[in-house]
Structure 1
C-alpha cells in the first residue's frame, strides 16, 4: 500500500460498524470516518481545486477529529493540525509560516480562529485563507436530542453531493498521489522562537506504523488509550494504528492524568489494552498514588518515550502489571515519531538506566563523532538517522531544513540524506544503543563538563522526589534544580552531595507543586527559566 487512505478503505470493508475512535461523550465507526473524510475531501476539492497546498485544521481532542484530518488527505493536501488553545502569538507564527489557502475549524474554535486570521490579515501581508466549518463541510449532523450511547450521524440531504461526481473528483486526486507526497505538517518548537513545521510523507508514516505495530503486537482487538493532543507527533499512533489494524482508540481526558482512580476506571471501562504515553504521564501517576486503590485489568502493551524513564517508576508499573510488555522508545519528530526501541525483558532495578535499544525496521541509526567519523564501540557520538522515515523537511524553511537534514559523511559512494538528532549516544559491545544526553544539555561549568541529565538522574533517585529538571543560567553561571515531591530541599541537597562532585550540585533548588509542562508532556523550559 502506498497511501494511508488505502488502510482506511481496507478496514472499513472489514469492520464498517466497529468503533474507530471514542471520547467521553461519543464514538465514531470506521464507516462514519470514511464518509466524513470523503465528504470533507470532496468539498475541499470543489472549493479549492486540485493542488498540494496545506490546510490547517483546528478541531481539538474529539473522536471526529481524525476524520477531518483524513478529509484533507482525500483532497490531495497535507493537513496541519493546530491546537486552538495555544497562545495567539504562536498560532499567528504557525499560520504565517504555513500560509494556508484554507482552514478547517470546528464550531468550538471557529470564532477564535476567525479573530486570529482577521488580525493577521489586517496587520501583516498575510493572505486571508477561506475558513470552513468542519461540521458543515463533512455533511455531519449530530442528533443532540435523546442521544443513545453513541452519537447519531446522518448526511444532510440538502447539501449532499452526487455520489458519482464525488467519486470522480476523489479518483482524479488519488490518481496523482504518490507515497512520497506530504501527509501532515506538525509544528514543534524552534530554538529561534519560531515553530518548525515538520513535513512527513505517507511513506514515512506508514513505515513507522508498520514497524511499531510489529514491535508492540497491535491487533484488531486492541483498544489504544490516547494521552497526547491530536496535533502532536505522539498521536499519530493513536490515529493511524486503527486504520491499519482495525483496532480502536479511546481519547482520554487530560484531567484524568491527575486522577489515577478516575483514569484507571475509565481505561478498565473502555478495556484499554495498549498505550503509548510520555514518561511524565507515568511519573506523575506514580507520585499521585497510582494502583493504591484501583488497578488496571486489560492493559498489556505499554510504550513510553519523550524523556528518560526513572526505573523506580517503571518498577512500580512492572510490579502492578507483571504480564505487560514494556517498550522504551526513542526518536525525534523528524524521524516520524521514533527511530529506536528497547523491549524491557526483565524486572528492572531502581538505579538502572535503560538503553534506547535498536533501530526500528526500515530505519538506520548510527553515530558520528566530532571529526565526522564513526566512533569506536563505547565511545560517544551524535545519533544520526537515515531511511525512508525521514521527514521531507521543515515547511517553508529551507535554511533550517538544510542545517538539520544533511548528507551522510560516512557514505562516500552516493548522496545519502540523514538527520542529525542533536543527541549523544554510544553503542555497547552487543550493538545496543545507549542515550547519553542532549548536545545542548552538555555544558561547561566551573571548568568542568557537566551533563544536566546526569544531575537530574541523581535527583530522581532520591527518595521523595517525583520529578526534576535542571537548567543552567549561563550568564550567572548557576545550576538550578526544580523538583516536585515530598522530599525537603535540605535533604535533597545533602543526598546530591553524596552522589555528585561539588561542581555538579545545583546552587539553587526550588520545590514546585507541579512542574510546568508542554502539551506533549515535556517540561516547559521557558517557564522554568522565568521562575
Structure 2
C-alpha cells in the first residue's frame, strides 16, 4: 500500500491526466491541473515556513479548496480547514489553539480572515497558485517526510468551551481510504457527490477517493440538500454514482416525498454515517433504488473518520435497527467494561479502538491527549495506544457490533458531534445567565437549554448565534427560577428530561 498521498496523486494524474478530478457548479479541475496547482502552492509555502508547520485554511466548498490542502502537504506541512461562515469567536478560538504563522484564504474568506485579529500572515490562495513550481524545494521536503507526519487538523466540539483539534497523520488517512474502497468498490468509473463542508471529517472521503481511484467528485450546491427534488435532478445531470452523506439527507428526502418525482438513476453506492439511520427511511431508499448498495458507517474523528461498517443485506423492515458492523481493515475494535476488562459476547462494554488509524492526539493539548489516548490496559508487553470512544456497544455471536448509546453527554446532532458542556460554557459567557443545563431530545433532534438569571430568551438566542455554529445553537431556551436539584446538590437531569416531553 502506498503511504504517501502525493505520490499517489502524481501516479493518478499521469494515468488520468485531463480527466476531471474535482468540479462544482462554476468550474472543474483535471487531475493534471490539481497536481500542478498543488505544487505551485507547495513551492510558495516552502519559501515561508518550515516543514511540519500548521496552516489555517479559510476556503469554501469549491474545487480549489482540496488543491490548497494538497499544496500544504507538498510543503511538508499540515492544514486546518476553517469555515468562514462560523461565528468569529469560534474562529478566533481555533486560531488560538492552532497558533499558525500562515492563514490561506480564498477571495470570499479573505474579508473574514482580516477581521479576526490574526497576527500571522494572510495569503491569497489565488496568488499562491500562480507561484512558479520549485521542484528541488519540493523534493527536499519530500526527502524528509515520514508516513506518520500530520496531514490535517479537524476541529470538533470541546468540553472546556474551546474546540479541540484532532491531528491525523498521512498514514492514518491512507489506511482508512484504502479500507473504505475495499468495501465500497469505488473505481475510475464513479462520480462522487459531495455533501459535507470541506472542513468536516466526512469530506476526507470525497477529497481523497478520487486520488486513489481516478474517480471524479462533484461538489453539490448546499441549497440542493434543502430541496431533494432539485438534489435528484442535479445528481442525474452530473451522473452521480456514489455518495457518503449524513443520515439527515436521507431522512429529509423521504419526509419531503422526493421520490414522487425524478429519481437519482445513476446512484449505485451509498454510505451513510453521523447518526442512527431510521430503517423506515432506509426502506424507502432501498425500495426506490433496488440495485444500490447501502453501507452504514460508525466511528469518531479520533480514529480517522470511521472504524466499522455494515453493508445492509436485503430490504429492512420499518422497525429494524441496523448494527454498526465489523471493523475496517487496519482497525482493531474491542469492548471494555468500567474496570478496563474485556466483556463477553453479548455483554455491553465501551467501544475502544487501536491501530495505525489512531489520531496523533489533540493539537496543543497534551493533557487531553494523554487522558484520551491511553496505553492498552490488556497489553503490558509493549506500547499500544487505544482510544476509548465513550460509546457503548455489544458484539453478537457472529462478531457484529451493535451500538448501545453514549457513555457521557456528548451527542450526535444533525451529523455533528456536540459536547453539551460546550454549549453550557458558551451560555455562561453571558453575564445575565447564572446557571444552566443543556439537554438533548433525540426523538425530535432538539437541543434545549434550561437556565436561570435575568437574560431574556431573545437575548440568550442572539448571544448563541454570535459565538456558536448553527448546529450547536439550542432551539429551545427555557428560563427557570431555579434548576431542579437532587439531594446531593447536583442538577436533577431526570426532571429536566421530563420537562422536554
Asked whether the two chains share a fold, i.e. TM above 0.5, the reply is: yes
Tell me by how many angstroms 1:342 deviates.
0.4
Q: Distance in 1 between matches of 2:68 and 2:23?
A: 15
Cα offset, 1:346, TM superposition: 1.3
The equivalences for 1:379-458 within 5 A come to 379-440=347-408
1:341 matched to 2:291? The reply is no
Q: 1:177 to 1:483 in 2, by over 3 A?
A: same
Q: Is the 8 A contact 1:258 1:288 kept in 2?
A: no
Q: Match of 1:327?
A: 295
Deviation at 1:399, TM superposition (A): 1.0
Instruction: Please give the TM-score of this superposition, normalised by the length of structure 2.
Output: 0.84
Equivalence map 1:498-513=2 (5 Å): none
Deviation at 1:415? 2.1
Give 1:131's match in structure 2, choosing from 116, 122, 126.
Answer: 122
Q: Deviations over 1:41-86 (max 9, x none)?
A: 00011123x3311001111000111001111111110011111111
Matches within 5 A, 1:258-297: 258-297=226-265
Q: C-alpha displacement at 1:288, in angstroms? A: 1.2
> How far is 1:482 from its partner?
6.4
1:115-154 correspondence to structure 2 within 5 Å: 115-118=115-118, 128-139=119-130
Q: Runs (4+) of structure 1 moved beyond 3 Å? A: 471-482, 522-526, 528-531
SS state of the match for residue 319, structure 1? helix
Question: Which fold has the larger relative contact order, with Cα–Cα distance below 8 Å and residues 6 or more apart in sequence?
Answer: 2
Give, in whole Å, the separation in 1 of the partners of 2:156 and 2:439: 28
RMSD: 2.5
CA distance in structure 1 between the aligned counterparts of 2:213 and 2:241, rounded to whole angstroms: 14
- Equivalences for 1:75-94 in 2 at 5 Å? 75-94=75-94
1: CA distance, partners of 2:363 / 2:314: 42
Query: Which residue in 2 is equivalent to 1:446?
Result: none
1:527 to 474, 482, 486: 474
Q: Which residue of 2 aligns with 1:483?
A: 444
- Of 239, 251, 255, 2:223 maps to 255
2:489 paired residue number: none
- Secondary structure of the equivalent of 1:377? coil
TM-score calculated relative to the size of structure 1: 0.79
Residue 141 of structure 2 corresponds to residue 194 of structure 1: no
CA distance in 1, matches of 2:340, 2:21: 47
Q: Which runs of 5+ in 1 are unaligned?
A: 119-127, 140-159, 443-451, 457-468, 486-517
Kindly report which structure 2 residues correspond to 1:107-256, keeping only aligned pairs within 5 A, or say none.
107-118=107-118, 128-139=119-130, 161=132, 166-256=134-224
Q: CA deviation at 1:96?
A: 0.4
- Distance apart, 1:372 and its partner CA: 1.1
Q: How far is the alpha carbon of 1:477 from its aligned partner?
A: 12
Question: Secondary structure of the equivalent of 1:326?
Answer: strand
In the other structure, the counterpart of 2:52 is 52
| Number of residue pairs aligned between Structure 1 and Structure 2 | 439
Write the distance in 2 (CA, Å) between the matches of 1:353 and 1:14: 43
Deviations 1:202-224 (A, max 9, x none): 10000000000010001011000
* Alignment CA distance shift 1:209-1:38 (3 Å): same
- 1:294 is displaced (CA, Å) by 1.0
Q: 1:62 matched to which residue of 2?
A: 62
Structure 2 residue matching 1:530: 3-state secondary structure: strand
Do the aligned partners of residues 25 and 282 (structure 1) sit closer, same or farther apart at CA in structure 2, a change above 3 Å counting?
same
Q: Secondary structure at the match of 1:410?
A: coil
Q: 1:477 to 1:307 in 2, by over 3 A?
A: closer
Q: Say if 1:19 and 1:30, in contact at 8 Å, map to a contact too.
A: yes
Q: Determine helix, strand or coil for the equivalent of 1:527.
A: coil
Matches within 5 A, 1:17-28: 17-28=18-29
Q: 1:290 to 1:484 in 2, by over 3 A?
A: farther
Distance 1:199 1:100 in 2: 14
* Cα separation, partners in 2 of 1:476 and 1:232, compared to 1, 3 Å: closer
For residue 60 of structure 2, give the secondary structure of its aligned residue in structure 1: coil
* Structure 2: stretches of 5+ with no match in the other structure: 425-434, 447-464, 479-501
Structure 2 vs 1, CA of residues 184 and 475 (structure 1 numbering), >3 Å: closer, same or farther? closer
Measured after TM superposition, the shift of residue 286 of structure 1 is 1.2
Deviations, residues 388-431 of structure 1 (Å, cap 9, x unaligned): 00000000011111111111112222221000101000111111
Distance 1:281 1:53 in 2: 36
